[in-house]
């Protein structure tokens, strides 16, 4: 949808540059080179799923783009934690149960605690420059999402093209192969050899490597997060106090 909008410039070689947290040392010439040069563009727009929990990203964005407009999408923390866990498994980085995987990858649950981090973004950029959306309100309601972005300063968005879910949950046939390919892709991207990665995707290499296995049972994963429910509930109440209305997810 964003690629269809007039006046919007998005990264072309990759979906996510990771510039403000991982690649800041490469400098702004490298960063701007990731975007297509179109003289009519008024907005640089970047999707950065790792920025929200990065102190470095928050500080660097504030220092270099002090008037940045921020859109934060929050998701039911149980669903987000499960998605994070499945993403780690898909890349071949673990085959542990979700309870054990949290010990090795604490971000699975820590990044599902939102209120304190959101308060930091409010403090730096001002409440009016940080738009909050809930995943549950957006999914399946693209027209409402489009209206929100238009109201936030983005030009008209097209809903004519079919939209499908990307990065849907899957499990690799071989953990060793998935991990090896993941490491190789990381090295290629570090060397700015994005074209090779995209060719691999286009011939179906990603689906062949990162899918075909058996996903963990959904009920087992939810049960594995049961000890975190009280933390998620406290964070939900803190979010309600912070933004003035309750998130759409609830717990018994």
For residue range 133-191, list pLDDT tens digits in order: 898 888 777 777 777 777 666 767 766 655 566 666 788 888 888 888 888 877 877 77
77 and 92 assigned to the same domain? yes
Which CA distances in Å does 95 have to 121, 206, 220? Answer: 34, 19, 14
User: What are the residues whose beta carbons fall under 8 Å from the beta carbon of 43, sequence distance 6 or more?
Assistant: 7, 8, 9, 153, 154
Q: Residue 167 is encoded by which pair of tokens?
A: 């990065």
Range of the domain at 196: 170-214
41 and 127 assigned to the same domain? yes
Contact in structure between 104 and 94 (CB atoms under 8 Å): yes
Q: Is 198 left (phi over 0), alpha (psi -120 to 50) or beta?
A: alpha
74 and 178 assigned to the same domain? no
DSSP bridge pairs for 133: 73
**Is the pTM of the predicted complex or chain greater than 0.85?**
yes
| CATH assignment of the domain containing 31 | 3.40.50.300
79 and 200 assigned to the same domain? no
Number of domains in the chain: 2
Q: Residue 120 is encoded by which pair of tokens?
A: 């930091």
User: What does the pLDDT look like over 59-108, one tens digit per residue?
Assistant: 999 999 999 989 999 999 999 999 999 999 998 999 999 999 999 999 99
Q: Is 107 inside any structural domain?
A: yes
77 and 107 assigned to the same domain? yes
Q: Is 250 inside any structural domain?
A: no
Cα four-point dihedral sign 84, 121, 67, 25: negative
Q: Is 47 inside any structural domain?
A: yes
């Amino acid at each position: 949808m964003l690629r269809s909008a007039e006046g919007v410039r998005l990264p072309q070689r990759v979906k996510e540059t990771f510039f403000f947290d991982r690649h800041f040392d490469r400098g702004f010439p490298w960063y701007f080179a990731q975007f297509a040069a179109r003289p009519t563009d008024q907005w640089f727009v970047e999707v950065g799923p790792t920025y929200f929990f990065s102190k470095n990203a928050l500080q660097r964005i504030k220092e270099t783009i002090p008037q940045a407009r921020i859109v934060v999408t929050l998701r039911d923390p149980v669903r987000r934690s499960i998605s994070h866990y499945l993403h780690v498994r898909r890349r071949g980085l673990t085959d542990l149960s979700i309870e054990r995987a949290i010990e090795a990858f604490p971000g699975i649950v820590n990044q599902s605690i939102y209120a304190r981090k959101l308060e930091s973004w409010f403090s730096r950029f001002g409440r009016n420059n940080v738009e909050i959306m809930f995943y549950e309100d957006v999914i399946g309601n693209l027209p409402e999402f489009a209206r929100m972005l238009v109201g936030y300063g983005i030009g008209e968005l097209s809903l004519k093209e079919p939209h499908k879910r990307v990065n849907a949950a899957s499990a690799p046939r071989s953990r060793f192969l998935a991990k090896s390919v993941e490491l190789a892709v990381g090295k290629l991207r570090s060397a700015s050899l994005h074209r090779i990665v995209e060719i691999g995707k286009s011939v179906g290499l990603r689906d062949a490597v990162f899918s075909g296995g058996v996903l963990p049972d959904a009920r087992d994963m939810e049960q594995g997060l049961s000890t975190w429910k009280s933390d998620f509930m406290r964070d939900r109440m803190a979010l309600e106090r912070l933004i003035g209305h309750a998130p759409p997810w609830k717990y018994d």
